[in-house]
A and B are shown apart, each in its own frame.
Chain A
Amino acid sequence: MPLKLGPAGVPLSCKGRTIVEGMDDITVLGLDAMEVQTVRTIQPQHFDQYWQAGILSWNSDFEMNMHGPYYAELLGSKRERNRTLSKMETSLQAGKIINARHLTFHVGPYGECQPGSETNEQVANILAGVVDRVREVWGVAEEEEDYAAFPWVHEAEPSLVGVETSGRQELWGTVEEVLEVCNHVEGTVPVLNMGHIHARGHGRLRTSEDYAELFDQARETFGGSTFYCHFAGVEHRMGNALHYTQIKKSDLKFEPFAEFLAEEGDWMDITIISDSPLLEHDAMYMLQHYDKARQRLLEIRARDERRAKLAAQTGMDPEELKRKEEEAAAARKAQLAEEQGKTTKKPVKKTAAKGS
């Protein structure tokens, strides 16, 4: 399963602050993705480093992505929508330069709209326009010579437009809404922000089965196998995200997600971005847990294979062999505990004697 992991922004531990320096640090950490935060208007001086980052990502397996404007009001008044679209235009121009594989956008508050298919259709129409604009911006034949040094502009697929789930009740972006819109607009991809989904669902992501249910829902509704996720700890109340926290401090744990990915994620092409306050630290934490989950799974599979082989050789039923092995393991455990009990009893006596 292709899995890419990385932080949302230049790593906190990076001494430099440019994107290219950040990419170097991320690669050294064994991670392979990054989401550039263009939450505000892009300054012209940023474009130089964007080109450099684009070249670096084109020549390596490093996946660059971009996050759109911080404030989005696509369902607001005409003025608010146009303001958001103009910020999105800057992001998608920058996305082309940086060779972004995903451009993540929020939709913003429902405003005067009511949740439902009519509002979803409105969002779908706006995002269809954004997808068209991305395709217009990428690979203009007349500009091929101008972009000779930046081959991805003509050779790579344009960025996918990511539609992010929201973490508050008053914001458009439940899982169902996002999947419905992505299903109707080609060129979009759902951005499953696990912290937001967990918060909005009153803490719904607790076990690997919960993740399986979420991705089954995504597979059935959206149909694709490419996913882009955000993961961070979150404090939440009454179905609203209150604050991002490091993963260890949250009731949203990564272990069940890692377990799900290792056991059932073979069909997925997934990128996970850490947007925790401890950006790359938590991205590393996720990578470690994913590796552990895979290791555990490989051990289980190897044991099952060995058992089946042994059962065939001895003419036993594999289930019976499993039961016998479990009994033997339990007996070994009991014996070990007994031995440990004997050795630890002595010092206890000594301390008691000293105390008296």
Chain B
Amino acid sequence: MHVSPEGSAGFATMNQGNLDWRVALDSAHWLVNSSSTVLEGDAPRGAWGASMAFAELEGSRSVMVVGVPESPELLAEAWGSVIERIRQIHLLFFESDALGAIAELEGIEPESLLSSVRDRGLVPIVCSYDSETRKACVEHALGSTEVLTSATMAPESWLAAFLCKLPLSGPGKLGLEKAARAETD
């Protein structure tokens, strides 16, 4: 596993061949990646793609977090890379500031972005969470789910809780709603 110090250039120049994805995944249920990783350099981009291919082979499910990169003009490139890999993604999470920007790129209304991406990309779950309104929106095979969380959460905290709850919250729409509430026990 490659661990580079925070903010170091080492991440961009790492040797991605040193990563043993089978060992790293170790039967994990979820593999979480970010769309911005592809902008970090060739090696991170290669590792990013390889991780998803190995996740597919090893039976782990790929989660992709789509956010606006530090340089917003690179959003189109990052989103284009996500689209190229859309068939390998099981759960797509949009940070709320990325929703409008991606909708503009695709020329569709922000309100219908989640359902459109799910329908066209055949991604099983597409979701977002707005910290200000505490509203979680989840598009899935059984329709749409919108719930308010009882506490205000950071988007990444909501996603983490949602991912942890999802395999345990039971089947059907009710299970999804329960997971989306992301309530701590």
Contact = CB atoms under 8 A, between A and B. Distances in A.
B84 interface: yes
Contact of A244 (B53, B83, B87, B116): B87
Interface stretch (B3-11, B118-126, B130-138, B175-183): B118-126
Contacts of B105: 40-41
A277 B64 CA distance: 15
Given A242-B124, A243-B124, A246-B56, A12 B49 contact: yes
Nearest to A42: B80
Contact of B87 (A13, A43, A275): A275
A15 B15 CA distance: 12
Contacts of A9: 84
B46 interface: yes
B97 interface: no
B61 to A, nearest CB: 10
Contacts of B83: 37, 39-40, 70
B108 interface: yes
A101 interface: no
A324 interface: no
Interface in B121-179: 121-124, 141
Interface string A221-232: 000000000001
A71 B122 contact: no
A12 B50 CA distance: 7
Contacts of A39: 80, 83-84
Contact of B88 (A71, A242, A277): A277
- The majority secondary structure among interface residues of chain A is loop
A278 interface: yes
B122 A244 contact: yes
Given A41-B76, A71-B116, A242-B122, A83 B87 contact: no
A237 interface: yes
A241 to B, nearest CB: 6
Contact of B122 (A41, A241, A278): A241
A241 B118 CA distance: 11
A168 interface: yes
A17 B120 contact: no
Given A275-B87, A276-B87, A12 B53 contact: yes
Contact of A232 (B87, B120, B123): B87
Interface bin, chain A: 20 to 34
Contact of B141 (A13, A237, A275, A278): A237
B23 interface: no
Contacts of A16: 42
Interface string B33-51: 0000000001001100110
B120 A71 contact: yes
Contacts of B122: 167, 241-244
Contacts of A13: 53
A119 B76 CA distance: 34
A277 B120 contact: no
B63 to A, nearest CB: 14
A33 to B, nearest CB: 18
B94 interface: no
Contacts of B84: 9-10, 37, 39
A334 B123 CA distance: 52
A40 B56 contact: no
Nearest to A241: B122
Interface in A270-295: 275-278, 281
Contacts of A17: 42, 45-46
B106 interface: yes
A12 B80 CA distance: 15
Contacts of B42: 16-17
A168 B119 contact: yes
Nearest to B106: A71
B79 interface: yes
A15 B76 contact: no
Nearest to B59: A249
Interface in A196-226: none
B56 A243 contact: no
B56 A278 contact: yes
23 contacts: A10-B84, A16-B42, A17-B42, A37-B83, A39-B80, A40-B76, A40-B79, A40-B106, A41-B105, A43-B77, A70-B83, A70-B121, A71-B107, A71-B108, A168-B119, A232-B87, A237-B141, A242-B124, A243-B122, A243-B124, A246-B57, A275-B87, A277-B87
Given A83-B107, A277-B52, 6 more contacts: A17-B42, A40-B80, A43-B77, A70-B120, A277-B56, A278-B53
Q: Which 7 A-B pairs have the closest CB atoms?
A: A277-B88, A244-B87, A12-B53, A277-B87, A277-B56, A40-B80, A39-B83
